[in-house]
Structure 1
Amino acid sequence: MPYAHGGDADLYYEIHGAGTPILLSAGMGGGAGFWRPQIEALAARHQVILYDHAGTGRSGRDIGPRSITEMARDMARVLDAAGVEDAHVAGHAIGGIIGMELALAAPERVRSLTIVNGWARADGFLRRCFEVRKRILLASGPEAYVRAQPLFLYPPRWIAENIAVLEEEEAQMVAHFPGTQTMLNRIETFLAFDGRERLADIRVPTLLAAAKDDALVPSYLSTLLAEGIPDARIAEVDWGAHAFSAVTPDVFNEMLLGFCGEIDQ
């Protein structure tokens, strides 16, 4: 298995396909597996790079608190290890925040930026959602945290129709949970992030992809991002909730491929 070495955590990564590179960064869970519904479609046209965030999955554990700046450096290390100078960067939620940080710190490495259901700062609603998740983790442990997670990520109908799939995924997630303190550290880092004052400094083409029925990160937060980033556009879907890239992968894949293809022309 390939790893990006050189920092305080060895970062697991994967490469699929060939073409203009796309680096995909997951959200709170941090695992490359979040992007499985995207691999086949994207790899038909692009070199697709996935990785596990430091402290999650196959990228080690118990690394202590980690800043967004450090997470962006991790992202750059993965590009280095893959031999890639620049790439389209797409991040889901927190992965999008990390992508924003890389676009600010090293814009020459980011061909385009796609932020899926993201935000510039956690407002009162989003902060309350994360605080509830923290309390579930602290009061009831990782299994309860994992079982509650679909309620934040997926539409009710999709949950009802995919119980068996969810139960299988949950068993894997509990078995490979990064650890309570690691998850708490990640939540605190993302709650502390405030990028509002630097949005105007993002100079790469940016797509804000949002789901109108996202009950965790409302789409108005993507609208605020689009208003603050100079070269940004917003694309909204009606249904799919926070994890719409997994719920309606064909819709998301077409959206991302279209945007990246336009930039590459």
Structure 2
Amino acid sequence: MPVVDSNGIHINYVERGNGEPLVLLMGLGADGSVWEEHVRAYEKHFRCILVDNRGAGGSSKPEGPYTTAMMAQDTIGLLDALGIESAHFSGISMGSAIAQQVALLAPKRVRSLTLNCSWSECDHYSVRIFETFRAAYATMRADDFAKLLQLFIFTPEYHERNLKDLLARQQGALDNAAPMPAHAFAAQCDACISHNTTGQLRAIRTPTLITVGDRDIYTPPHLSQSIAQEIVHAEVEIFKGSGHTHHWDNLEKFNRVTLLFMLKHCS
């Protein structure tokens, strides 16, 4: 897999498809491969760039602290290395926080911005979630931690319908021969906690889509609504009956809505 030097570290990425560039930024503890179910739709229209964020996948895993602004600079450096002047950006959870920072740090580099299950600033509840995950990751078995995470990001209904899938994900975490180091996971958690773009987002003029599940208990809808109050031109799509993983709970709709939005803003 290709690797570039960016912002003092190595960033691993994968390219798929052809068309205008689309940078895909995944969430806490995950690498770019987790975009697979979406890239199958996107790569028919876009040059998809799946990024392993600092600390994840094949990218460098330095000691913390990390910040979302730091990871945004990592991503901007990747664009520089690939000779990409501007791109569409889509981020899920922590990836959406990084995407916000890219849009603020380098607005001319962003053609469209899709923020999924996002926040501009943690509330007390979300801080406590990230603190709990940070502590649990360092002490629990990988499959037990995966189960804990699933309880926060998947709805009860998803558990009833898809227990086999969830159990397979747990087993996959246990079988992973190269798990994310605890120090890197902790540093990503701290980046999520410290992320704060409140009061800055009104400067974003880029076409923006915000998506969120109405049953998200991890990053509840009011956090996305706060972003929409600042980015007043943003389109908002609420996924009824879905949780933090609305992009999987309602995969067909998510791919359709996000793809139509990005295509609408192609040159």
TM-score higher than 0.5 here?
Answer: yes
1:17 is the counterpart of 2:31: no
- How far apart are 1:178 and its partner, in Å? 1.1
Q: Which residue of 2 aligns with 1:190?
A: 192
Q: How does 1:67-146 map to 2 (within 5 A)?
A: 67-146=67-146
Q: Which residue of 2 aligns with 1:211?
A: 213
Number of residue pairs matched by the alignment? 265
> For 1:38-89, what per-residue CA distance to the aligned partner results, in whole angstroms no more than 9, with x for missing partners?
0111111111110111111111334432222210011112223333211110
- How far apart are 1:188 and its partner, in Å? 1.4
What residue ranges of structure 1 are gaps of 5+ in the alignment? Answer: none
TM-score, normalised with respect to structure 1: 0.93
Paired with 2:51 and 2:160, the residues of 1 have a C-alpha distance of 30
- How far apart are 1:167 and its partner, in Å? 2.9
Paired with 2:190 and 2:241, the residues of 1 have a C-alpha distance of 29
Paired with 1:19 and 1:63, the residues of 2 have a C-alpha distance of 36
Q: CA-atom RMSD, angstroms?
A: 1.8
Instruction: Report the residue type matching 2:91 in the other structure.
Output: G
Instruction: Report the residue type matching 1:56 in the other structure.
Output: A
Q: Which residue of 1 aligns with 2:238?
A: 236
TM-score, normalised with respect to structure 2: 0.92
Paired with 1:60 and 1:161, the residues of 2 have a C-alpha distance of 37
Q: 1:207 touches 1:232 (CA, 8 Å); kept in 2?
A: yes
- How far apart are 1:138 and its partner, in Å? 4.1
The structure 1 residue matched to 2:181, chosen from 168, 172, 179, is 179
| Structure 1, 148-157 or 128-137: larger mean CA deviation | 128-137
Matched-pair identity in % = 26
Paired with 1:140 and 1:40, the residues of 2 have a C-alpha distance of 33
> For 1:176-206, what per-residue CA distance to the aligned partner results, in whole angstroms no more than 9, with x for missing partners?
3211121111111211121112111122111
Q: Which residue of 2 aligns with 1:170?
A: 170
Instruction: Report the residue type matching 1:211 in the other structure.
Output: G
Runs of at least 4 residues off by over 4 Å: none
Paired with 2:9 and 2:163, the residues of 1 have a C-alpha distance of 35
- Secondary structure at 2:9 match in 1: coil
